[in-house]
Amino acid sequence: MYWDGSCANGATWFSYWWLPGFGLVLLLLALVVIGLLVRQLRRPRVVDATCPKCSGAVRSVYFRCPHCGETLKNNCPACSRVVESGWVCCPHCTAALAK
């Protein structure tokens, strides 16, 4: 093309100034679609632990089992940070935990 813009039929380089922006929009759309696909694929994996009492599916961030009410996590009596049931000592302050 005529990069000095002297082409008389109107199809100068200036007519394509929007192409980079258009490409960017397409790229963003592709990213959104990929993000949605990844979220769909990850959905079955939200359950990543089982309740020790009823074996129900729970998430590792749950404090109590939603199926039977079993306490899944406790607070350390010494430092009040979250500890998991079954731990014999607090990993944060090394205090012994009641079973």
Residues at the contact surface with Zn ion, assessed by CB under 5 A: 51, 53-54, 56, 65, 67-68, 70, 76, 78-79, 90, 92-93, 95
Q: C-beta of 44: minimal distance to Zn ion in Å?
A: 20
**Closest CA relative to residue 50, chosen from 60, 42, 58:** 58
Measured from the CB atom, the residue of 15 and 60 that comes closer to Zn ion is 60
Residues 6+ apart with CB under 8 A from 92: 76, 79, 81, 83
Residue 10 CA to residue 94 CA, distance in Å, equals 77
Minimum gap (Å) between residue 43 Cβ and Zn ion? 22
Shortest distance, position 85 Cβ to Zn ion, whole Å: 11
